[in-house]
């Protein structure tokens, strides 16, 4: 078989097994990767895995599975002949879902910078989670279809190999279909379209067979964790305020663990989608708004804990207060004072949910002159007082 034929074989494996594939030459250098739009392993992960490629080269024409220190696994198969030497890679994949705690432990253990945690999480989110039985089935099929030491196979043998691979591929959702569904969901989400909710439901159906969790509720929670993380990353990349998005992420991740039934998790999933869609819609609107309004919003976000007045904000923007008030209300749809209260109440909801700060401490942190005034504003916006809100939604534990 030629390089061209091996690449076609790898692509077939990717579509059938729902995982990335790659080819490494004798340098060793990656010369093929599919699907090419998927995020490749970070450089420090690739560097640590060179040892496995070298080990595979010592055992040509023998399929071996390797699991690295970052908890991902893959099959390697070296083809060695007088004229060429290449390593075929099928994977990586996961045998268990990887969360923030595991990633944090690995990053700390290797002495890496903390800022690589999000990169690793984003990378792991795209990998399939396979059960032990499915890994064994894939291994069995790979042994049958990968080229053997003989220079060529008979036509009948090659036909049989292809048939086995095609038979298996019909037992699982097409990997390319799942990738296409995710791309459609991402596109609709970034445009702020309500149709993103239905697109996500379709994408999630294609993901269901990849779950290895036996506990249905835990499986649903893990999928929602991935969704929250991904929506947060997309929102920040689209221009949303990072601090606001990270706070929203933390709020939902903490609140998720208080949900005890599948129905509660599914209800929260809908709330998460709607909440992030509102914010991405606001971001898109902000990007269409004037630079003055954008700078004004940023100033408000950065100074929520201080005493803010229209005159003070206008002075900071170096414009007339009446002019600022008019253009802000026209583009945002609410007066500046109302917008400030909205943002403060959003921040207050987070503090009430995930901290044990007193109402006085929260009102002071958010720039209110008194606890009673803070309580009145909160109830006016949310319909219930801050004490009632805390009883209903608090996730903080001493």
Each residue of 286-343: pLDDT tens digit? 555 578 888 898 899 888 888 889 999 999 998 888 888 888 888 888 889 889 988 8
Long-range contacts of 384-391 (CB under 8 A, 24+ apart): 386/348, 386/352, 386/359, 386/362, 387/359, 389/349, 389/352, 390/352, 390/353
Tell me what the mean pLDDT of segment 173-178 comes to.
60
So where are the chain's domains?
Answer: 3-172, 174-284, 289-398
**Any bridge partners for residue 87, and if so which?**
24, 78
On whether the pTM is more than 0.75, the answer is no
Q: Give the model's confidence band at 134: pLDDT under 50 very low, under 70 low, under 90 confident, else very high.
A: confident
Say if residues 235 and 245 touch (Cβ distance below 8 Å).
Answer: yes
Predicted confidence at residue 207, as pLDDT, reads 66
CB neighbours of 157 closer than 8 A, spacing ≥ 6? none
Angle between helices 291-302 and 321-332 (to 10 degrees): 100
Instruction: Evaluate the CA torsion angle 235, 240, 242, 246 in order and state its sign.
Output: negative
Tell me what the mean pLDDT of segment 272-284 comes to.
77
Residue 158 burial by Cβ neighbours in a 10 Å radius (0-12, 13-18, 19+): middle
Which is more confidently placed, 304 or 285? Answer: 304
Which among 248, 273, 267, 269 is positioned nearest to 195, based on CA atoms? 273
Which of 36-40, 94-98, 173-177, 256-260 shows the lowest mean pLDDT across its residues?
Answer: 173-177
CB neighbours of 113 closer than 8 A, spacing ≥ 6? 107
Predicted confidence at residue 212, as pLDDT, reads 42
The three-point CA angle 96-99-102 to 5° equals 90
Tell me what the mean pLDDT of segment 212-223 comes to.
70
CATH class, domain 289-398, is mainly alpha
Compute the distance between CA of residue 24 and CA of residue 265 in angstroms, rounded to an integer.
Answer: 42
Compute the distance between CA of residue 84 and CA of residue 65 in angstroms, rounded to an integer.
Answer: 22
Tell me what the mean pLDDT of segment 150-162 comes to.
50
Q: Which two tokens stand for residue 1?
A: 């078989």
Predicted confidence at residue 49, as pLDDT, reads 84
Tell me what the mean pLDDT of segment 221-230 comes to.
85
Each residue of 232-242: pLDDT tens digit? 888 887 777 77
Cα–Cα distances (Å) from 40 to 36, 37, 56, 65, in that order, read 8, 9, 21, 19
Which is more confidently placed, 43 or 340? Answer: 340
Backbone dihedral angles phi then psi of residue 83, each to the nearest 5 degrees: -100, -10
Residue in the structure block whose two tokens are 């070296």: 78
Compute the distance between CA of residue 218 and CA of residue 262 in angstroms, rounded to an integer.
Answer: 9
Say yes or no to pLDDT of 269 above 70.
Answer: yes
Residue in the structure block whose two tokens are 């309580």: 375
Q: What percent of the chain has pLDDT over 90?
A: 8
Residue in the structure block whose two tokens are 């990586």: 92
Predicted confidence at residue 63, as pLDDT, reads 92
Predicted confidence at residue 209, as pLDDT, reads 47
Each residue of 350-395: pLDDT tens digit? 888 877 888 998 888 888 888 998 899 888 888 889 999 888 877 5
Backbone dihedral angles phi then psi of residue 26, each to the nearest 5 degrees: -80, 5
Say yes or no to pLDDT of 194 above 70.
Answer: yes
Tell me what the mean pLDDT of segment 27-50 comes to.
80
Q: Which two tokens stand for residue 271?
A: 């709330």
Sheet of strand 64-67, all strands in order from the earlier edge strand to the far edge: 30-34, 21-24, 85-93, 73-80, 64-67
Each residue of 56-104: pLDDT tens digit? 998 888 999 988 877 889 999 998 877 778 899 998 998 877 777 778 8
Q: Give the model's confidence band at 115: pLDDT under 50 very low, under 70 low, under 90 confident, else very high.
A: confident
């Amino acid at each position: 078989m030629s390089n061209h034929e091996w690449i076609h074989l790898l692509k077939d494996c990717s579509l059938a097994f729902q995982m990335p594939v790659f080819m490494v030459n004798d340098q060793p250098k990656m010369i093929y990767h599919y699907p090419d739009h998927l995020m490749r392993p970070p450089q420090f992960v690739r560097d640590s895995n060179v040892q496995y490629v070298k080990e595979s080269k010592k055992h040509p024409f023998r399929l071996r599975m390797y699991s690295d220190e970052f908890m991902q696994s893959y099959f390697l198969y070296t083809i060695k002949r007088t004229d060429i030497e290449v390593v075929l890679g099928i994977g990586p994949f996961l045998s268990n879902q990887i969360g923030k705690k595991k990633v944090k432990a690995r990053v700390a253990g290797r002495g890496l910078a903390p800022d690589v945690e999000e990169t690793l999480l984003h990378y792991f989110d795209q990998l399939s989670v396979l059960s032990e039985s499915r890994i064994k089935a894939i291994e069995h099929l790979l042994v049958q279809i990968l080229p053997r030491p003989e220079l060529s196979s008979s036509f009948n043998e090659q036909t049989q190999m292809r048939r086995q691979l095609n038979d298996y591929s019909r037992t699982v959702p097409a990997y390319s279909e799942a990738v296409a569904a995710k791309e459609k969901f991402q596109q609709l989400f970034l445009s702020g379209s309500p149709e993103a909710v239905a697109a996500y439901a379709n994408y999630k159906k294609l993901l269901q067979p990849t779950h290895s969790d036996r506990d249905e509720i835990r499986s649903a929670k893990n999928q929602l964790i991935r969704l929250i993380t991904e929506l947060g990353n997309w929102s920040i990349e689209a221009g949303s305020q990072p601090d606001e998005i990270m706070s929203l992420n933390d709020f939902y991740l903490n609140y998720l663990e208080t949900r005890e039934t599948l129905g509660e998790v599914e209800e929260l999933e809908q709330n998460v989608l709607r909440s992030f869609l509102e914010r991405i819609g606001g971001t898109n609107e902000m990007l269409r708004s004037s630079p003055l309004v954008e700078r004004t919003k940023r100033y408000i976000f950065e100074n929520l804990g201080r005493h803010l007045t229209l005159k003070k904000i206008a002075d900071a923007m170096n414009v007339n207060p009446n002019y600022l008030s008019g253009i802000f209300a026209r583009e945002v749809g609410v007066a500046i004072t109302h917008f400030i209260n909205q943002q403060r109440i959003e921040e207050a909801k987070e503090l009430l949910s995930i901290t044990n700060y007193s109402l006085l401490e929260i009102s002071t942190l958010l720039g209110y002159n008194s606890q009673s005034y803070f309580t009145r504003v909160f109830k006016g916006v949310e319909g219930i007082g801050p004490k009632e809100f805390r009883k209903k939604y608090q996730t903080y534990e001493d």
